[in-house]
Structure 1
Amino acid sequence: MVKLIKEVKESFKATFKVEPLLVFSPGRINIIGEHTDYNDGFVFPAAVDKGIAAAIQKSDTGSCTAIALDLDSKIEFDLDKLKPSKEGSWENYVFGVVAEIQNRNKVVGDFNIVFKGNIPGGAGMSSSAALENSVVFGLNELFELGLTKTEMILISQKAEHNYVGVNCGIMDQYASMFGIKDNALHLDCRTIQSKPYKIDFKKHQFILINTNVKHSLSDSAYNDRRSACESIATLLDVKALRDATEADLEKIIDKVTPTNYQKALYVIQENERTLKAAKAIEDNDLERLGKLIYQSHAGLSDQYKVSCDELDFLVAQAKKNKYVLGARMMGGGFGGCTINLVARNEVNAFEETVSKAYKNKFDKECSVYFIELSNGTHLVK
């Protein structure tokens, strides 16, 4: 992290000849509670020690410049001519945040920003939320906008909806902004309130294994599933699936397709699992937590249908190893990472075995990341 911040600061000073404000905004993991956030449910994320470092300062040139160091890409823009760029462009995250701040009648002046991240691309660790949060946090400081952290994450979320075109829930932005070192946050996505849980990992740790694939279904499938959940909630006459029980769902079984029934059932069950996971962590019962994590993956793969061969293979490998308490796919799906709860002194052996098996099966490398739970978006002194 220190190296990343130094690189961004030096690049900014070399380009703009002034001292910048420095912001670090972390990526996140999610222990359990996947695809429950946009159903007003519970999730269990934590900020991690990988993220986006941004250097930002006012501009006196009459326009703004944003530089994505890791992409070697630069864009100049005017604040009164903001509109979404072509689909998939990184600048939409920046434009979207500025536009949503302006929509709240807050005055942002011209600025320059340089950023770089060390979150692996496509890993499902929310580099997009980290980028959005770094921009809104930096602008809030720079122009003394007086935004609360909650207002900032809602701005980040709206930027993603309106400029990026992903109808995301609030989890990613929340975890990135509000993270607490060594804690996971049991977040109620309806109230946007969370309870921190300090995790006693004892002799275990979380590691991430990246499939290094991202199947193209991801964004459209995400939006499809969200609309399926919303239509079933409407049929049940509840605000969101968070308010439904399995018994409620039974009553409309003949009114929905079997695949949509299973998707809704998964959401209801996954919501329950996050509550059970909170209890397991409270009781320092990592074995119980691990079992819930495995159940979560089974639901995501068999019911919600957002897994893929590579993710399923990695979880199957984890299940063969008695030193792994739990594993599941993490994030939107169709690629990205698995999260694995592994005995600390067996991590290297597990990494070696899995990497070899994955290479044999798919003729490609997977990547293993070691992470620590960290603080949320903050100024770097």
Structure 2
Amino acid sequence: MSSELIQLVKQSFVERFKTDPILIFSPGRINIIGEHTDYNDGYVFPAAINKGIAAAIQKSDSGTCTAIALDLNSTVEFELDKLKPVKEGSWENFVFGVVAEIQNSNKALGNFNIVFKGNIPGGAGMSSSAALENSVVFGLNELFQLGLTKQEMILISQKAEHNYVGVNCGIMDQYASMFGIENSALHLDCRTVESQPYEINFEDHELMLINTNVKHSLSDSAYNDRRSVCEDISSLLGIKALRDATETDLKAIVDKVTPENYHKALFVIQENARTIKAAKAIKSNNLDSLGALIYESHMGLSTQYKVSCDELDFLVAQAKKNELVLGARMMGGGFGGCTINLIAKNETKNFAKEVSKAYKNKFGKDCSVYFVKLSQGTHIVN
């Protein structure tokens, strides 16, 4: 969490609204393994990070609400009883969606002002959207004493994304952002929405993110398409979700689905199994095994689920050439964003330099390298 970010948001709020706000920090997340398994009721392995959204919020005595996105230098005024989604891709939908879903749950809100700013790179697959949704719901819960539990808050954030943003996301991003534990990753069962924290101490190794700095426009529509494929196959199998299927079950309907869709479902079943194996590898500190699972995950995302892109595949191929990188894969919805790499600490500088040069030569643009700390979830900043 950046204290400069918090200060900047507070200062902007006080200058504009002449009153002291409540301050919230809501983190983004990484995901070690378990991609596209969350909306299949499966397992995932995320962790909250020390990059996220800082928000300042307070009651408004004017007849309207005001929200200010400092990053975008953009302001919107709105009325609580006249909310509807605005054009696709607008940041306002994240705020409007949360407010509308709180009201749909029969909680009374008054007018408020909110100012926010983030330090998560946009489109990096670190869930700046879930961090924003959580900061709004958490702030409003505090401000108007709504009595919502964290569990209820993340469901409101998720519904906002479904109904206002138009992305049928699973629960992982909102959960990791809200429930994160310092220095730990959460092995989350997306059916029960309960998690087991695993302390992450890779000793001589660490997690390094490399951002392709691309986000191909396919991502949202392809995401919703993948989700509907998974739901169709589940209903063919007569099960609630692919989490309940085995590879043998899938083979029984091979002639009833297209080869492409067969491989998408197969990926989900295999990825779910990999997350369970990854938990065991972390517990026994078997980093070679964890790294191998991470590489397998990318191969499946790229060739079976088909949500990777040239830039992500290139970064993973570069990682494979270096024996001090134990595992690498694309992270997030796909078609851009970051790779996550499990790498020896004494190799990070060298690899960062090598891969940056190779990427620039290949694509004519820069990639960005980040290191993150695993941090606590959404909270009030005193």
TM-score category, normalised to shorter length: over 0.9
Structure-2 residue corresponding to 1:244: 245
- Per the normalisation by structure 1, the TM-score is 1.00
For residue 75 of structure 1, give the secondary structure of its aligned residue in structure 2. strand
Structure-2 residue corresponding to 1:155: 156
Structure-2 residue corresponding to 1:270: 271
Structure-2 residue corresponding to 1:104: 105
CA distance in 1 between counterparts of 2:109 and 2:287 reads 47
Q: CA deviation at 1:268?
A: 0.1
Matched, 1:95 2:96: yes
Structure-1 residue corresponding to 2:295: 294
For residues 1-381 of structure 1, the aligned pairs below 5 Å read 1-381=2-382
Q: Deviations over 1:10-46 (max 9, x none)?
A: 0000000000000000000000000000000000000
Q: Deviations over 1:72-128 (max 9, x none)?
A: 000000001011111111000000000000001001110000000000010000000
One-letter identity of the residue aligned with 1:358: Y
Q: CA deviation at 1:365?
A: 0.3
CA distance in 2 between counterparts of 1:85 and 1:111 reads 20
CA distance in 1 between counterparts of 2:344 and 2:376 reads 24
One-letter identity of the residue aligned with 2:350: A
Q: Deviations over 1:208-263 (max 9, x none)?
A: 10001111110110000000000000000000000000000000000000000000
For residue 71 of structure 1, give the secondary structure of its aligned residue in structure 2. coil
One-letter identity of the residue aligned with 2:158: Q
For residue 264 of structure 1, give the secondary structure of its aligned residue in structure 2. helix
Q: Deviations over 1:126-159 (max 9, x none)?
A: 0000000000000000000000000000000000
CA distance in 1 between counterparts of 2:56 and 2:362 reads 42
The runs of at least 4 consecutive aligned structure 1 residues that moved more than 2 Å come to none
For residue 71 of structure 2, give the secondary structure of its aligned residue in structure 1. helix
Residue segments in structure 2 that go unaligned for 5+ positions in a row: none
Q: CA deviation at 1:62?
A: 1.0
CA distance in 2 between counterparts of 1:86 and 1:312 reads 32
Aligned length: 381
CA distance in 2 between counterparts of 1:204 and 1:58 reads 46
CA distance in 2 between counterparts of 1:203 and 1:372 reads 15
- Per the normalisation by structure 2, the TM-score is 0.99
CA distance in 2 between counterparts of 1:111 and 1:292 reads 46
CA distance in 1 between counterparts of 2:260 and 2:60 reads 53
CA distance in 1 between counterparts of 2:252 and 2:355 reads 44
CA distance in 2 between counterparts of 1:160 and 1:172 reads 11
One-letter identity of the residue aligned with 2:178: M
CA distance in 2 between counterparts of 1:77 and 1:326 reads 47
CA distance in 2 between counterparts of 1:129 and 1:52 reads 10
Percent sequence identity is: 78
CA distance in 2 between counterparts of 1:130 and 1:322 reads 35
